Amino acid sequence: MPHRAPGSPGHSASNYLTGKAIQYYRPRGSAEVRQLIDGSFQAFNAGRLSEACHIFADKMLAPEHDTTIGLTVAGALTPAGLGGCAIELMERGLIDFIISTGANLYHDLHYALNFTLHRGSPFLDDVELYEQGVIRIYDVLFPATVLLETDLYIRDFLVRAKLSGPMATSELHYRLGLDLMERQPGCEAYSVVACAANAGVPIYTSSPGDSSIGMNIAYHELMNGSTLMIDPNRDVNEVCAIILAGKKNGCVILGGGSPKNFYLQGQPTLWEVYGIPKGGNDYFIQITTDQVVWGGLSGATPSEAVSWGKVNPGVLPDTVVAYCDSTIAFPLFCEYAVGSPNGRRPRKELVHKRDAMVADLLKQAKAVHTDKSATMAEQPAEIDRHR
Q: Which amino acids are annotated catalytic?
A: 310
Q: Per-residue contact track with ligand NAD, 255 to 284, x per CB under 6 A?
A: xxx---------------------------
Interface residue with ligand NAD, options 326, 332, 340, 358 (CB under 6 A) = 326
Contact 93, 348 (CB under 8 A): yes
Integer Cα distance of 83 and 100 in angstroms:
12
* CB nearer to ligand NAD: pick between 145 and 207: 207
Does residue 339 touch ligand NAD according to CB under 6 A?
A: no
Q: Where are the alpha helices (DSSP H) in the chain?
A: 31-40, 44-54, 83-91, 102-112, 126-132, 144-161, 169-183, 192-199, 212-224, 232-245, 257-264, 266-268, 302-307, 326-338, 354-386
Contact status: 106 vs ligand NAD (CB under 6 A) = yes
Closest to ligand NAD by CB, 109 or 241: 109
Number of residues engaging ligand NAD in binding (CB under 6 A): 22
Inter-residue contact 142 to 21 (CB < 8 Å)? no
The stretch among 20-28, 38-46, 68-76, 313-321 that binds ligand NAD (CB under 6 A) is: 68-76
Residue type, 378: E
Q: Which is nearer to ligand NAD, 274 or 330 (CB)?
A: 330
Check residue 143 for interaction with ligand NAD (CB under 6 A): no
Instruction: For residue 47, give every residue at least 6 positions away whose Cβ sits within 8 Å of its Cβ, in sequence order, or none.
Output: 41
* Residue 264 C-beta: closest distance to ligand NAD, Å: 14
Q: Is residue 76 a contact residue for ligand NAD (CB under 6 A)?
A: yes
Question: How many helices (H) and strands (E) are present in the chain, helices listed first?
Answer: 15, 11
Residue 93 interacting with ligand NAD (CB under 6 A): no
CA distances for 70 relative to 260, 292, 326, 341, angstroms: 10, 22, 16, 20
Query: In this structure, how many other beta carbons lie within 10 angstroms of the beta carbon of residue 127?
Result: 9
* Alpha-carbon span 220 to 228, nearest angstrom: 8
Binding mask 2-41 for ligand NAD (x = CB under 6 A): ----------------------------------------
What character string, x for contact with ligand NAD (CB under 6 A) and - otherwise, covers 181-220?
Answer: --------------------------x--xxx--------
The region of 55-63, 102-110, 347-355, 372-380 touching ligand NAD under the rule CB under 6 A is 102-110
In terms of C-beta density within 10 A (0-12 exposed, 13-18 middle, 19 or more buried), how is residue 117 classed?
Answer: buried
74 vs 365, beta carbon nearer ligand NAD:
74
As a whole number of angstroms, the distance between CA 24 and CA 14 comes to 24
Report the distance separating Cα 376 and Cα 372, nearest Å. Answer: 6
**For ligand NAD, which residue of 289, 370, 373, 375 counts as binding (CB under 6 A)?**
289
Please report how close the Cβ of residue 253 comes to ligand NAD at its closest, in angstroms.
9
Backbone angles phi, psi at 68, to 5 degrees: -85, 120
At residue 284, what are phi and psi to the nearest 5 degrees?
-150, 115
Binding site for ligand NAD (CB under 6 A): 74-76, 101-103, 106, 207, 210-212, 255-257, 287-290, 298, 325-327
